[in-house]
Chain A
Amino acid sequence: MVSDQLLRQLGDFIHHEARLCDESRYAEWEALWTDDGHYWVPRAEGLDPEKQVSHINDNRRRIHTRIKQLLTGTRHSQTPPSPMRRVISGIVVEAIDGDDYVVGSNFVLLELAIQSTRDVHVWGGRTTHRLRRSGSGWLMAAKKVVLVNADEPIPNISFLI
Chain B
Amino acid sequence: MRIEHAVPIDYDVLIQADRVHSALYTDPVIFDQEMERIFHNGWVFVGHDSEIPVPGDYVTRQLGQQPVIMSRGKDGSVHVVRNRCAHRGNKVCARDSGNSKVFACPYHGWVYDLDGSLLDTPQANGYGASFDKSAHGMVPADQVEVYRGFVFASLNHSGMTLKEHLGRATELLDRCCDLSPAGELDLTAGWLKHRFKANWKMLPENDCDGYHVDFTHSSFMSATDSQAIDLIQGGGEPVVRDWGNGHIEIDFGVAYRKRGNPFEWFGRVPASKLPNYVKAMEARYGKEKANEMFCGGPPHAIIFPNLFLGELNVVFYYPVSANECVQLYTPMLLKGAPEVNQRAIHQTEGAVGPGSFLIPEDVIIAERNQAGLAAQQPEWMDLSRGLHREYQEDGLTVSHMSDETVNRAFYRRYKTAMQRDLQAVT
Q: Tell me, yes or no, whether B56 is within 8 Å of chain A by CB.
A: no
For A50, the chain B residues whose CB sits under 8 A away are 342, 345
A75 within 8 Å of B by Cβ?
Answer: yes
Confirm or deny: B54 has a beta carbon within 8 angstroms of a beta carbon on chain A. Answer: no
A120 within 8 A of B: no
Q: Is the interface of A mostly helix, strand, loop or mixed?
A: loop
A153 to B188, CA, bound (A): 18
A5-13, A66-74, A133-141: which lies at the interface: A66-74
Q: Are A65 and B224 in contact, with the CB atoms below 8 A? A: yes
Chain A 124-158 interface mask (CB, 8 Å, partner B; 1/0): 00000000000000000000000000011111111
Q: For residue A37, give the distance in angstroms from its CB to the closest CB of chain B.
A: 16
Say yes or no for B238: interface residue by CB 8 A criterion.
no
Would B361 and A43 count as touching, CB distance under 8 A? no
Flag if A69 contacts B223 (CB, 8 Å).
yes
B341 to chain A, nearest CB (A): 9
**Chain B, 214-233, CB within 8 A of any chain A CB:** 216, 218-220, 222-224
Among B203-211, B244-252, B348-356, the one that faces the other chain is: B348-356
Question: Once the chains bind, are B222 and A56 in contact (CB under 8 Å)?
Answer: no
Q: Is A74 in contact with B355, judged by CB distance below 8 angstroms?
A: no
Across the interface, do B355 and A53 meet the contact criterion of CB distance under 8 Å?
no
- Is B202 part of the contact surface with A, judged by Cβ < 8 Å? no
Question: Could you mark each residue 70-104 of chain A with 1 if its beta carbon is under 8 Å from any beta carbon of chain B, else 0?
Answer: 10111111000000000000000000000000000
Query: Looking at the complex, which one of A53, A76, A117 makes contact with B353 (CB distance below 8 Å)?
Result: A53
Closest Cβ neighbor of A118 among chain B residues: B371
Q: Are B349 and A57 in contact (CB under 8 A)?
A: yes
Q: Does B266 contact A (CB under 8 A)?
A: no
- Chain A residues with CB under 8 Å of chain B are 41, 43, 47, 49-57, 62, 65-66, 68-70, 72-77, 115-117, 119, 151-158, 161
**Shortest beta-carbon contacts, A-B, top 8:** A153-B195, A116-B367, A77-B360, A55-B355, A69-B223, A56-B355, A75-B219, A153-B193
